[in-house]
Amino acid sequence: MSQQGYVAAPPLSQAQPGIGGYPASFGVPPSQPHYAHYGGTPQSAASPPPGACCDYHSCSPCSQNRIDHHAARGRGTCWPCWEAGKVFSRNNVSAFIRSCSSEQIKSIMLKNFYEISINECRLKKASFSPGHGPLHGPQSPTSSVPQPTSQVLPPTSGRPLMPQAPQMAPPPSASGQPFMPQSPQMAPPPIGASSAMGTTAAAAAMGVPGSFSGLPHPPGGYQVRPGFPGAFPAGAAQMAGPPQKKLDPDSIPSTTQVIEDDQTKRGGQVYATNLRGQVPPLVTTDFVVQDQGNASPRFIRCTTYCFPCTADLAKQCQVPLAAVIKPFAAVPKNESDKYYINHELKYSYFEIFQMLPYEQYLHIFLQSAGPIRCNRCKAYMCPFMHFIDGGRRYQCGFCSCVNEVPAFYFQHLDHMGRRVDAYQRPELSLGSYEFVATLEYCKNKKPPNPPAFIFMIDVSYPNIKSGLVRLLCAELKSLLERLPREEGAGSSAVRVGFVTYNKILHFYNVKSTLAQPQMMVVSDVAEMFVPLLDGFLVNFQESRSVINNLLEQIPDMFTDTGESETVFAPVVQAGMEALKAADSSGKLFIFHSSIPTAEAPGKLKNRDDRKLINTEKEKTLFQPAKGVYEDLSKECVSNGCCVDLFLFPGQYIDVATMGSVAMHTGGSVYKYSNFQAQVDGDNFLRDIRKEVEKPVGFDATMRVRTSTGFRATDFFGAIYMSNTTDVEMAAVDCHKAVTVEFKHDDKLSDDAGALVQCALLYTSVGGQRRLRIHNLSLSCSSQLADLYKSCETDALVNFFAKSAYRAMVNQPLKAVREVLVHQTAHMLACYRKNCASPSAVSQLILPDAMKVLPVYMNSLMKSAALVGSADLSTDDRALQRLLVTGMGVEETQALFYPRLIPLHNLDVGSKAVPLAVRCSEERLSEGGVFLLENGLQMFLWLGQACPPEFIQSIFNVPSFAHLGADMTSIPELDNTLSKKLRSVIDHINQQRSHAMKLVVVKQKDRSEAPFRQHLVEDKGLHGGASYMDFLCYVHREIRQLLT
Ligand SMILES: [Zn+2]
* pLDDT tens per residue across span 1-26: 333 322 222 222 233 333 433 443 33
State in Å: Cα 375 to ligand 1 middle: 7
State residue 354's pLDDT score.
Answer: 54
For the chain, give the mean pLDDT: 78
Q: What is the dihedral of CA 684, 686, 687, 688, to 10 degrees?
A: 90
- State the distance between the two ends of the chain, measured CA to CA, in whole angstroms: 13
State residue 839's pLDDT score.
Answer: 83
At 953 the three-state DSSP class reads helix
Strand partners, 720: 728
- Does the pTM of the predicted model rise above 0.75? yes
Q: Which of 130, 7, 111, 195 is nearest to 1018 (CA)?
A: 195
Q: What is the dihedral of CA 62, 64, 66, 69, to 10 degrees?
A: -140
What residues contact 937, with CB distance under 8 A and at least 6 apart? 996, 997, 999, 1010, 1014
State residue 58's pLDDT score.
Answer: 52
State in Å: Cα 713 to ligand 1 middle: 19
State in Å: Cα 566 to ligand 1 middle: 52
CA distance 790 to 142: 12
- Cα distances from 1038 to residues 238, 718, 855, in angstroms, run 20, 35, 16
Q: Phi/psi of residue 492, each to 5°?
A: -80, 140
CA distance 787 to 780: 8
Give a three-class secondary structure readout of 508-547: EECCCCCCCCEEEEECCCCCCCCCCCCCCCEEHHHHHHHH
What residues contact 382, with CB distance under 8 A and at least 6 apart? 397, 427, 428, 757, 773, 775
CA distance 455 to 458: 10
- Phi-psi group of 375: left, alpha or beta (phi > 0 → left; psi -120 to 50 → alpha; rest → beta): alpha
State residue 169's pLDDT score.
Answer: 35
State in Å: Cα 392 to ligand 1 middle: 16
CA-based torsion, 24, 28, 32, 37: positive or negative: positive
| Eight-class DSSP state of 1023 | B
State in Å: Cα 373 to ligand 1 middle: 8
CA distance 281 to 302: 12
Q: What is the dihedral of CA 405, 410, 412, 413, to 10 degrees?
A: -40
Helix (H) or strand (E) holding 769: strand 769-781
State in Å: Cα 193 to ligand 1 middle: 58
State in Å: Cα 982 to ligand 1 middle: 53
Tell me the pLDDT tens digit for each residue of 644-680: 999 999 999 999 999 999 999 999 999 999 999 999 9
Give a three-class secondary structure readout of 118-167: HHHHCCCCECCCCCCCCCCCCCCHHHHCCCCCCECCCCCCCCCCCCCHHH
State in Å: Cα 744 to ligand 1 middle: 17
Q: Phi/psi of residue 290, each to 5°?
A: -120, 115
State residue 929's pLDDT score.
Answer: 96
State in Å: Cα 305 to ligand 1 middle: 22
Q: Which of 815, 817, 881 is nearest to 1024 (CA)?
A: 817
CA distance 589 to 104: 46
898 with 1014: CB under 8 angstroms? yes
Mean pLDDT by 10 residues, the chain (1043 residues): 30 33 38 40 36 46 37 30 29 43 48 32 32 33 35 33 34 36 36 34 32 29 27 28 54 95 96 96 95 95 98 96 96 58 34 50 48 93 95 97 92 94 86 83 88 98 97 97 89 96 97 96 91 93 97 96 96 97 97 96 94 92 93 96 98 97 97 95 95 95 97 97 95 97 96 96 92 95 96 98 96 95 96 90 90 97 92 95 97 98 89 93 94 96 94 93 86 94 93 92 91 95 93 94 89
CB atoms within 10 A of CB 1016: 26
- DSSP codes, 244-286: P----GGGS--HHHHHHHHHHHHTT-EEE--STTPPPPPTTS-
CA distance 803 to 862: 15
589 with 646: CB under 8 angstroms? yes
Residue type, 112: N
- Phi-psi group of 227: left, alpha or beta (phi > 0 → left; psi -120 to 50 → alpha; rest → beta): left
424 with 83: CB under 8 angstroms? yes
- Cα distances from 595 to residues 601, 610, 846, in angstroms, run 13, 18, 48
State in Å: Cα 397 to ligand 1 middle: 6
State in Å: Cα 706 to ligand 1 middle: 9
Residues with a beta carbon under 5 angstroms from ion ligand 1? 374, 376-377, 379, 396, 398-399, 401
Q: Which of 754, 833, 836, 826 is nearest to 789 (CA)?
A: 836
